[in-house]
């Protein structure tokens, strides 16, 4: 008699391996992410201004996500308000984005963000994070806001008030 079906032993092994992989992936989505936060503003909220008008829309979208996913009340500055973070486009920038943070004794004084033209949402999200004083987490999972390479827009773990359920 020929056996056309898979051996129950192999099948059982495959199911066990699959379960183990799912458990690992599941753990990866719920385990804490430690985001270094060495620098802080002394006041809140932090007011942003886009130097280039085409940046205003994307920047507002990114700030809205920060407000939605964390307790940071960051927003665009209104006319006459003192700006904390200035964002401008630099076509010659050697990286996708850079936040230059001026601080004294761990307190942030002022920040200037430079981005390449038409920055992606993850680039803006991460530079906003740097302007709030956050660094890159060690061994951040793929898609994390503050992951140094290939950041995403949905994993906010380790950021103040970051909602673990927003991972997806």
The site for Zn ion (CB under 5 A) is made up of: 126
Tokens at residue 54, please? 């085409």
Least distance CB 85 / Zn ion (angstroms):
15
Please name which of 105, 161, 159 lies closest in space to residue 135, comparing C-alpha atoms.
159
Min dist CB 62 to Zn ion, Å, is 14
In the bound state with Zn ion, the residue whose beta carbon lies nearer, of 126 and 131, is: 126
Q: Judged by CB, which is closer to Zn ion: 110, or 148? A: 148
Supply 104's token pair.
């004294």
> 126 or 153: whose CB is closer to Zn ion?
126
Q: Which is nearer to Zn ion, 77 or 120 (CB)?
A: 120
Angle 130-143-90 (CA atoms, 0-180°, nearest 5)? 45
Closest chain position to Zn ion (CB): 126
Helix, strand, coil % (nearest 5) of the chain?
30, 20, 50
Provide, rounded to whole angstroms, the least separation between the CB of residue 136 and Zn ion. Answer: 6
Smallest gap from Cβ 124 to Zn ion, in A, equals 12
The CA distance from 37 to 149, in Å, is 18
């Amino acid at each position: 008699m020929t056996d056309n079906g898979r051996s129950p032993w192999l099948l059982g092994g495959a199911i066990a391996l699959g379960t183990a992989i799912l458990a690992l992936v599941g753990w990866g989505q719920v385990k804490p992410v430690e985001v270094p936060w060495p620098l802080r503003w002394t006041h809140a909220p932090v007011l942003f201004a886009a130097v280039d008008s085409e940046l205003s829309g994307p920047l507002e979208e990114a700030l809205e996500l920060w407000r939605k996913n964390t307790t940071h009340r960051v927003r665009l500055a209104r006319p006459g308000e003192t700006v904390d973070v200035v964002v401008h486009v630099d076509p010659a920038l050697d990286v996708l984005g850079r936040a230059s943070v001026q601080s004294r004794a761990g307190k942030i004084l002022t920040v200037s963000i430079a981005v390449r033209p038409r920055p992606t949402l993850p680039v803006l999200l991460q530079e906003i994070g740097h302007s709030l004083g956050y660094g890159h987490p060690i061994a951040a999972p793929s898609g994390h806001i503050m992951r140094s390479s290939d950041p995403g827009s949905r994993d906010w773990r380790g950021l103040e008030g970051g909602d673990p359920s927003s991972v997806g």
